[in-house]
Chains A and B, each alone.
Chain A
Amino acid sequence: GIQVEQSPPDLILQEGANSTLRCNFSDSVNNLQWFHQNPWGQLINLFYIPSGTKQNGRLSATTVATERYSLLYISSSQTTDSGVYFCAVGREETSGSRLTFGEGTQLTVNP
């Protein structure tokens, strides 16, 4: 099956710093989503971005499908950004909502 690798596994920042999280995947995909899991366990959908660039406030994401990677940018980080960030991908031949998740990046933002 498809492999998803996220880096770095852990990231510690001071409030106000910027960061870039990376997601590499081993095969072509037509579905890529970024999620933030908060300390209470809920997964919040940040972006649906199988290709191209999107921005939502302080967050933006870019997927280069031909090179099999995606980047999540967090600017002016806040303590509420802490949690685990997951990249998840889906392939064309797997129908529906079957996503393969990476192991996540644990982000800690200190005040």
Chain B
Amino acid sequence: KAGVTQTPRYLIKTRGQQVTLSCSPISGHRSVSWYQQTPGQGLQFLFEYFSETQRNKGNFPGRFSGRQFSNSRSEMNVSTLELGDSALYLCASSLGPVDNEKLFFGSGTQLSVL
């Protein structure tokens, strides 16, 4: 069974631009969550989607948004990029909808904002 797939693996953008990251969960998994990892703040929860609905949201500005499609694939979008948005963005999937399940992470998208 294929794991969680994130694309692209690396991305370089400039300030003010917007970016879209993609995540395909493990087959059969219906819950997708996103995390941001930076050297200063560590791993922080962004949001979670189940059945195309946002179930939970972390403490990030509205420039960070996401969505989930009917096939459970998810995208996250960051608009008006800032230098501080440079980070590793990790997607995780779980079976859903039961809470507190084991999470499986993808390899991440490394975003650099210049």
- Using a CB–CB distance below 8 Å, which chain A residues touch chain B? 30-31, 33, 35, 40-45, 48, 50, 86, 88, 90, 94-104
Contacts and interface: CB of A to CB of B under 8 A. Distances in A.
B5 to A, nearest CB: 12
Interface residues of B, number: 28
B108 A95 contact: no
Contacts, number: 66
Interface of B: 31, 33, 35, 42-45, 48, 50, 55-56, 58, 88, 90, 92, 94, 96, 99-108, 110
Mostly, the B contact residues are strand
A45 B102 contact: yes
Contacts of A95: 55-56, 99
B107 A48 contact: no
A68 B96 CA distance: 26
A97 B43 contact: no
Contacts of B55: 95-96
